[in-house]
Amino acid sequence: MKIVMLGAPGAGKGTQARMISEKYGIPQISTGDIFRANIRNQTELGQKAKSYMDQGLLVPDELTLDLVVDRLAQDDCSNGYILDGFPRTIPQAEALTFALKSQKTKIDYAIDVEVPDDNIVQRMSGRRACPGCGATYHIRYNPPVSDNICDECGTELIQREDDKAETVQKRLDVYHKKTQPLIEYYREQGCMYSVDGTRPMEDVFEDICKILK
């Protein structure tokens, strides 16, 4: 069961990937986790990635793919895996398809968690964080007892830069331009499925499980 999770930032695909991982006993894999593990273990690929990251540069697609393929070859992926956040572009997807084909395998399911932009902006721009203890809130879905004050330690809450509406919209614009075309790519591969991400988290997960059966 080899799965690619798709969806805009804030759509909840990471949460769904974690739930799939727990239910089916397959690892949830992100490039961030791969980079950190290889850098921590001082692997050759990790050192190459670190040289780019230290300069504030994006890790090139070819190196990222090498790291991903190396991760997918590990024993815990023998029964499948969930790729969360990779591929992000058509060239990455094509390179992944080619690499898997050379190993006589392929992606079985590409699952898109669909959420309209307006919903995502509302979700993310409503987040608030406590700079004191790290507690998180949402002004609509999980507000603090006292307005803008942390329930845990009494510190005034802040809105992270990444959660500001204009920043969220910029991230969505990048997603639509670079990553959304993957939906059509995997549809042509015959493994594309979509779920309504505006529904409650448990209902979305139930819909995904029906697909995976």
Q: Please identify which of the residues 48, 88, 164, 187 carries the catalytic annotation.
A: 88
Q: Please identify which of the residues 2, 71, 123, 127 carries the catalytic annotation.
A: 127
127 has catalytic annotation: yes
Q: How far is CA 45 from CA 56, 58, 59, 93, 112, in A?
A: 17, 14, 11, 20, 30
Contacts of 138 by beta carbon, 8 Å cutoff, 6+ apart:
123, 126, 127, 128
36 has catalytic annotation: no
Q: Which residues of 41-78 are buried (b: 16+ CB within 10 A; e: fewer)?
A: eeeebbebbeeeeeeeeebebebbbbbbeebbeeeeee
18 has catalytic annotation: no
Q: Please identify which of the residues 160, 177, 199, 210 carries the catalytic annotation.
A: 160
Backbone angles phi, psi at 9, to 5 degrees: -60, 130
187 has catalytic annotation: no
Q: Which residues of 115-137 are buried (b: 16+ CB within 10 A; e: fewer)?
A: beeeebbbbbbbbbbbeeeebeb
Q: Please identify which of the residues 48, 50, 164, 171 carries the catalytic annotation.
A: 171
HEC string for 82-140: EEECCCCCHHHHHHHHHHHHHCCCCCCEEEEEECCHHHHHHHHHCEEECCCCCCEEECC
Q: Please identify which of the residues 2, 13, 71, 123 carries the catalytic annotation.
A: 13
Catalytic residues: 13, 88, 127, 160, 171
